[in-house]
Structure 1
Amino acid sequence: MRLRIALGAPSAAAAAVLAAVVLAAPLPAHAVQRPELGWDVKPTGVTARLRGLSPVSRGVVWASGSGGTVLRTVDGGRSWQNVSPPGTTALEFRDIEAFDARRAVALSIGAGPDSRVYRTDDGGRTWTETFRNDEPQAFYDCMAFFDRRHGLAMSDPVDGRFRILATADGGRSWQVLPSGGMPQALPGEAGFAASGQCLVTAGGRDAWLATGGAERSRVFHSGDRGRTWTVTDTPIPAGDPARGVFALAFRDPHRGIAVGGDYRIEQRSPVAGAVTRDGGASWAVSATPPPAYRSGVTWLPHQPSAAVAVGPSGSDVTYSDGRKWETFDEGSFDTVSCARDRSCWAAGEQGRIAELTTR
């Protein structure tokens, strides 16, 4: 549009047109304002390491961790209830999936019978053990749900293939799925029970699981709720039991982020992030990856290209779908997750739980 404005005071109509054009013009890149992020730590009264996290809303959050610990808040973190299942102090609850303030499913990890699933329907006052692993080779790492009824849990390889457990009734009962649709695992390949995010879902049927420990780190994808899988290499280094992909997050069935590295503090992790735009069929290194090992990652629901990653040495944010990351906090967290109402939370060592703040 070409504007011609006479010299002197512009007419009211001309001024209105000019104002509209100025407001519609895009801001220069340097003028784009990013929110300032931070963590508001909420005292929990426990010292357990909390690697399982499931925020339902800004008011309702569940967390789980070492010593058989399960916590719940219904007032936005002002107070926390210890609702741990009785007789489980020897277990590590590395993952928890909550549906609301009353219903949740918790996964304990470990070899043989230490891998278990518990469900509560009354806010943690009582729990029912709904699965106990009886396969000596199995070691369950993570759990994820498609909806309130359908979910999966993954185990490290048994007889050369990752084992998948499935539920169709909200975790009240489980069955081991046939292994014929699972590709062969590499020697030494396993999942990492670091944040409850080595197995994730998007939509009603797509699931992904992340691995490391072998000569290559890989991501497996299923489009039929765990019946059959394909697998793709990622550029995140492996080749050691301490290295690989530790966590995944998918915005939808196509856009995904992988984070990881080497969890040993003394080891560098220069390639700690990767991205996919085709549902995990291919992965590319983040142009500016997180600066160190990261164990958890989540998309921010209120910004379509933004995500947050956490680890023992800090938290990072991306506003470019995982291509470029920048650190905004140096505190220690193991896992991070967001609720549907856009509230986001992180949890980690020494009972640390925090809500993400913006300004």
Structure 2
Amino acid sequence: MRAVLVLVAVLSVLLGGVASAAELPSWRLVSTGTAAQFRGLSAVSGRVAWVSGTRGTVLRTVDGGRSWGSVGPPAAGELEFRDIEAFDDQRAVVLSIGPGADSRVYRTEDGGRSWRQTFSNPDAAAFYDCLAFFDPWRGLAMSDPVNGRFRVQATVDGGRSWRQVPDDAFPAAEPGEAGFAASGQCVATSGPFDAWLATGGGKHARVLHSGDGGRHWAASDTPLPSSASSGVFAVAFRTPWQGVAIGGDYANPTAAGPAVALSRDRGRTWRTPTEYPRGYRSGLAWRGRTVLAVGPGGSDLSRDGGRHWQSFDSGSFDTVDCAGGGACWASGAKGRVAKLVP
């Protein structure tokens, strides 16, 4: 009888492990018909998503990825659209990166049939990396520091116009500190007033937090390594209190880390969990209470807010985004776009 019980217990463990592995999601690749690198991604729903990337490319799907329309601004082939924020299947705001006037913002209200340029960077020393919105009206676009302070543009009309947040709203930047335009996630928002900027390149990998819609900012150190090629690449908050920062070293993508830091106090303090993805990760998103992370070395998930992680895919992606209903998309180099299943 004891032998039978032992056998039953062993089988339960084995079958439980198989069931657990079977419950892991997977990425289903969809064909985009292009070799552009898509670091910009906005998931509207399971049917609607927008991606943006190299050679001025912007694509949109309204049928779950079965077909994609090329809907980018005209005469933009020299631009790199590193971030895009879409509000539905018709309205989107896209950001191009680069020094001076290469940093631009365009807005469409008709699904990409026409675009209006709403911002052109007037400062040769500025370099815009990413943008994020609190709601369809209020948003922020982040630049690397200018004269020792981070620079942020704010909009209150859905990206139709922008104004610069005063320099004295920011703490002094560390020497070499900047944002990474790797996944469109170096700025994040949660709720109506909280926003975060992710940095690296300086002495510390830091996260800057604003609790008043971007008018004032304070910086906190994270335990992630920082160098010219390492720091915090993405930050995401499930609520204004609970957040995850992720990164690593893109020049040494297999470095052990740590690659993850967690906060439960709106980004004031950060700690490293006992488990974290091994290697560089550039993209991060919440799917309910689950955290998804992607990078050139694969994809990982955490079902407990970032404390423990499981790898579920070895393919390369640069960024990930999830819609409110739980539909998640990922995108990356060589035109790679995928949907999460189940």
- Tell me the TM-score normalized by structure 2: 0.93
Residues 41 and 354, structure 1, Cα contact 8 Å, conserved in 2: yes
Which one-letter code corresponds to 1:274 in the other structure? A
The alpha-carbon deviation at position 349 of structure 1 amounts to 0.3
Counterpart Cα distance in 2 of 1:321 and 1:188: 31
Counterpart Cα distance in 1 of 2:314 and 2:37: 18
Equivalent residue in structure 1 for 2:113, among 107, 112, 125: 125
Q: Which residue of 1 aligns with 2:171?
A: 183
Which one-letter code corresponds to 1:81 in the other structure? G
Q: Which residue of 2 aligns with 1:315?
A: 299
- Asked if residue 276 in structure 1 is aligned to residue 263 in structure 2, the reply is yes
Counterpart Cα distance in 1 of 2:74 and 2:256: 39
Residues 274 and 323, structure 1, Cα contact 8 Å, conserved in 2: no
Residues 269 and 291, structure 1, Cα contact 8 Å, conserved in 2: yes
Give runs of ≥4 in structure 1 deviating > 6 Å.
none
Instruction: Please list, as runs of the form range in 1=range in 2, the aligned pairs for 1:1-359 lying within 5 A after superposition.
Output: 34=20, 35-238=23-226, 240-265=227-252, 268-301=255-288, 304=289, 306-358=290-342
Residues 106 and 119, structure 1, Cα contact 8 Å, conserved in 2: yes
* Identity within the alignment, %: 56
Residues 253 and 280, structure 2, Cα contact 8 Å, conserved in 1: no
Residues 134 and 190, structure 2, Cα contact 8 Å, conserved in 1: yes
Which one-letter code corresponds to 2:178 in the other structure? A
Q: Which residue of 2 aligns with 1:8?
A: none
* RMSD (Å) for aligned C-alpha atoms: 1.4
Residues 301 and 311, structure 2, Cα contact 8 Å, conserved in 1: yes
Which one-letter code corresponds to 1:246 in the other structure? F
Which one-letter code corresponds to 1:70 in the other structure? V
Residues 93 and 106, structure 1, Cα contact 8 Å, conserved in 2: yes
Which one-letter code corresponds to 1:190 in the other structure? A
Counterpart Cα distance in 2 of 1:233 and 1:224: 20
The alpha-carbon deviation at position 257 of structure 1 amounts to 0.4
The alpha-carbon deviation at position 287 of structure 1 amounts to 1.1
The alpha-carbon deviation at position 266 of structure 1 amounts to 5.9
Which one-letter code corresponds to 2:326 in the other structure? R
Residues 183 and 318, structure 2, Cα contact 8 Å, conserved in 1: yes
Counterpart Cα distance in 1 of 2:188 and 2:178: 16
Q: Deviations over 1:228-276 (max 9, x none)?
A: 01110000000x2101000011000000001100002465142111101
Q: Deviations over 1:265-319 (max 9, x none)?
A: 4651421111011111100012111111000010112xx2x11100001000111
Counterpart Cα distance in 1 of 2:90 and 2:54: 22
The 3-state SS of whatever aligns with 2:277 is coil
Counterpart Cα distance in 2 of 1:209 and 1:266: 22
Q: Which residue of 2 aligns with 1:18?
A: none
Q: 1:169 to 1:186 in 2, by over 3 A?
A: same
Q: Deviations over 1:169-192 (max 9, x none)?
A: 000000111111210000000000
The 3-state SS of whatever aligns with 2:55 is helix
Counterpart Cα distance in 1 of 2:32 and 2:317: 14
Counterpart Cα distance in 2 of 1:220 and 1:266: 25
Counterpart Cα distance in 1 of 2:73 and 2:253: 36
Bigger Rg over Cα: 1
Residues 262 and 269, structure 1, Cα contact 8 Å, conserved in 2: no
Which one-letter code corresponds to 1:286 in the other structure? P
Q: 1:182 to 1:39 in 2, by over 3 A?
A: same
Q: Which residue of 1 aligns with 2:5?
A: none
Which one-letter code corresponds to 2:116 in the other structure? T
Residues 249 and 256, structure 1, Cα contact 8 Å, conserved in 2: yes
